[in-house]
Structure 1
């Protein structure tokens, strides 16, 4: 049974407003303290297979996710179609804008990256040159993409349950978050946060002062149940 209420510190962990549960992965990134050893073990195994498994995004605080959200809600950053193509912002209704954002970016306070359990990865050896800007798009992880080899290797490790607890929460299109083959999650720890983050907790937090500066908040509140079910709960359960 999911908890209806959380103590204040646990709520901060769930919603990206504390770093007390995190440790340094390297000079640039933080991860949950229970994720560090597992990721380094996976990185070592990847090296044996000829890949340089490298984190390019880990913990993301609430404020950073809020900035991403607001920029997209104002049309300052591109909104994408299901195929990853830019859309005409001015042709969309406010509700359409909200659901276009959610297809590719998490709601502030409801991102798995707040937990420190989820990591976006690349194969640094696959970079064509040092100036290449990683996009984190499906084509990079396709069979013939620059990170296709790593992606296939991860597929097999996850299938064989030899990925040290990591899996892909967005491995296929379930009508929520678009597939993200670069997105790994430490399932045992992440599931604890997901179980704690009940709809009651989510809805109550949406009404808090933390969202005072969030664009299109009224649309999010109106669609809270749908958003929770489609974009928070709707992840890979086959592990």
Structure 2
């Protein structure tokens, strides 16, 4: 049975957690993790969590049209006027998911920062903020050491994922792994064919490749790798 919520439709059962929507089990574990981090002087805050298909579509189309910046691997803006459609598609995918392919549709994934060290208004979600000397470096180090104790891990890691490393993005793997195993490329294709999405032709022409790289190619969780089969 297909689950439309996996692709950002028919919103899954979520709860409000500090103004953000999460799966109930994910929210409960996050509360515990926030309490543990607070004991070490770290204020774990969410800057992004659940996004539905249409919200992700708006982000995608804004980047494809130049209304939002498209960044290179070093988080520098790219002149998209110099790119072919396929080059632009790849450039956007470096940091942003296609609608229907975002883990943020699941209520299991969230972007975090240390509210004791930086305000959300100042946050850019770039690598330097989470590296040595950055305001969220302490948070990142704490999460590397402790996140798995609460069921969370980093799905986007260097050399282990199709997406560029995101030291701010955590996934609640007990639920996320089951969503990943249920993902169906044909259900996604139907949704994209019906959507008013920029770069639709190259997306559909390369969909199997894109799903393999940007959905299935993520760092293995502590549960072990998910090895889904793309149905022909």
Same-fold call, TM cutoff 0.5:
yes
Check whether the contact 1:123–1:150 (CA below 8 A) recurs between aligned residues: yes
Please report how far the alpha carbon of residue 192 of structure 1 lies from its aligned counterpart in structure 2 after TM superposition: 0.9
Task: Call closer, same or farther: CA 1:220–1:179 in 2, change over 3 Å.
Answer: same
- Cα deviation, 1:77-101, whole Å, max 9, x if unaligned, reads 1111111111111100001111111
Structure 2: 5+ residue stretches without partners = 223-232
Distance 1:178 1:214 in 2: 23
Check whether the contact 1:143–1:152 (CA below 8 A) recurs between aligned residues: no
The alignment's TM-score, normalised by the length of structure 2, stands at 0.91
Please report how far the alpha carbon of residue 206 of structure 1 lies from its aligned counterpart in structure 2 after TM superposition: 2.8
Root-mean-square deviation (Å): 1.6
Please report how far the alpha carbon of residue 76 of structure 1 lies from its aligned counterpart in structure 2 after TM superposition: 1.6
Please report how far the alpha carbon of residue 108 of structure 1 lies from its aligned counterpart in structure 2 after TM superposition: 0.5
Structure 1: 5+ residue stretches without partners = none
Q: Which range moved further: 75-84 or 167-176? A: 167-176
Distance 2:112 2:161 in 1: 23
Distance 2:57 2:221 in 1: 31
Task: Name segments (4+ residues, structure 1) moved above 6 Å.
Answer: none
> Residue 146 of structure 1: SS of its match in structure 2?
coil
Check whether the contact 2:154–2:167 (CA below 8 A) recurs between aligned residues: yes
Distance 1:197 1:44 in 2: 33
Distance 2:46 2:189 in 1: 31
1:23 matches 2:15: yes
Distance 2:186 2:65 in 1: 28
Equivalent residues in 2 for 1:159-170 (5 A)?
A: 161-162=148-149, 164-170=150-156
Please report how far the alpha carbon of residue 139 of structure 1 lies from its aligned counterpart in structure 2 after TM superposition: 0.3
Question: Which residue is 1:236 aligned to?
Answer: 219
1:144 matches 2:136: no
Please report how far the alpha carbon of residue 21 of structure 1 lies from its aligned counterpart in structure 2 after TM superposition: 1.3
Distance 1:176 1:51 in 2: 30
1:154 matches 2:137: no
Question: Which residue is 1:79 aligned to?
Answer: 70
Please report how far the alpha carbon of residue 174 of structure 1 lies from its aligned counterpart in structure 2 after TM superposition: 3.9
